[in-house]
A = this chain, B = another copy of it.
Amino acid sequence: MSVRQSLLAILDQGPCYGYQLRSEFDRRTGSTWPLNVGQIYNTLDRLERDGLVSRGAADEHGHVYFEITDAGRAEARSWLSSPIDRGQTVRDELAIKLALAATLPGVDAAAVIQAQRQASVARLQTLQGAGQPDDAGTPEELARALVVDAMICAAEAEVRWLDGAAQRLAARPRRAYELALSSERPRRGRPAAS
């Protein structure tokens, strides 16, 4: 839920047509979020359905301008002014994957960590080596620098976390954490297989 609000925030600056929205989005995000043009039109349809934008008639060039509504404006401003709530729940594939790897018998969690660590470090180096200008001249460069910084920070955090996880796992004998299936789960019937 991000493309939606992004388009809304752009439309808050004034009416745009679909193709234009795409290039605005691209410029303002340093082209870091590849956006299929089709998705713009999809999203606009959904925004219109929800009463957040209204579709104008095509102008003399055939451009179909969309205008933000009052409800849309409220939504856009609320998005920008309130922090993103990550909730108290995870939605991180890697974290869940490792938690599973660490508790599933027969899975070498340390190997999972090492493989990921290698990939993450490589990614980090790519990002860092990508020549991040300390001073971003154009707005496009600023946007890109911000986003790349975010990726770098996230990759660093990932590596740190992986190292911590490796330590946690090494602190105790591996088998100690492996959980067989359905220890005594089904209270009213046992699988024939066990």
Contacts and interface: CB of A to CB of B under 8 A. Distances in A.
A144 B86 CA distance: 17
Interface string A133-146: 00110010011111
A164 to B, nearest CB: 6
A108 to B, nearest CB: 9
A116 to B, nearest CB: 4
A101 B123 CA distance: 27
A101 B85 contact: no
Interface string A84-127: 11101111111111111111111100011001101110010010
Contact of A99 (B28, B102, B115, B165): B28
Q: How many copies does the complex hold?
A: 2
Contacts of A182: 16, 20, 24
A107 B93 CA distance: 33
Interface string A23-49: 110011110111000000000000000
A185 B20 contact: yes
Interface in A154-194: 154-158, 160-161, 164-165, 168, 171-172, 177-182, 185-186, 188-189, 191-193
B15 A60 contact: no
A6 interface: yes
Contact of A6 (B79, B96, B126, B188): B96
A28 B103 contact: yes
Given A9-B100, A98-B146, 20 more contacts: A2-B93, A5-B97, A6-B100, A10-B181, A13-B105, A15-B191, A28-B179, A60-B192, A79-B97, A80-B101, A81-B112, A82-B115, A92-B150, A92-B151, A99-B142, A100-B143, A102-B146, A149-B161, A150-B161, A154-B157
